[in-house]
Amino acid sequence: MRVIDRLSKAQRVVVVVALGLALGVIGTYLISLSGGIRSGWYGYAPLTATIQAPGAGLAAWLQLVIWLALIGAWALASIRVLRPAADHDTSA
């Protein structure tokens, strides 16, 4: 018997939503590791000693791949968590 089988439908939905939020945070963290766009008030020319490229960071296609992988993992986990419990009654 799986641990998830002991949860009610509402508890399973909470698990799926929490998993989605956690994967969203992980995705945001992974995207931000590349440095992101370096701009803002500290990018004002007299305040900086280095030249910052406005588009620095991960390529758009790589960000797309990361997000699609995380969304796919969330969808598969959601299907697994929300599927009905299998009855193991073999007496019939």
Per DSSP, the residues of 17-53 read HHHHHHHHHHHHHHHHTT-----SGGG-GGG-SS---
pLDDT of residue 11: 93
pLDDT of residue 56: 62
pLDDT digits (tens, 9 = 90+) for 23-49: 999 999 988 887 655 555 555 666 556
pLDDT of residue 26: 95
Q: Is the pLDDT of residue 55 over 70?
A: no
Q: pTM score, two decimals?
A: 0.68
Q: How confident is the model at residue 51 (pLDDT cuts 50, 70, 90)?
A: low
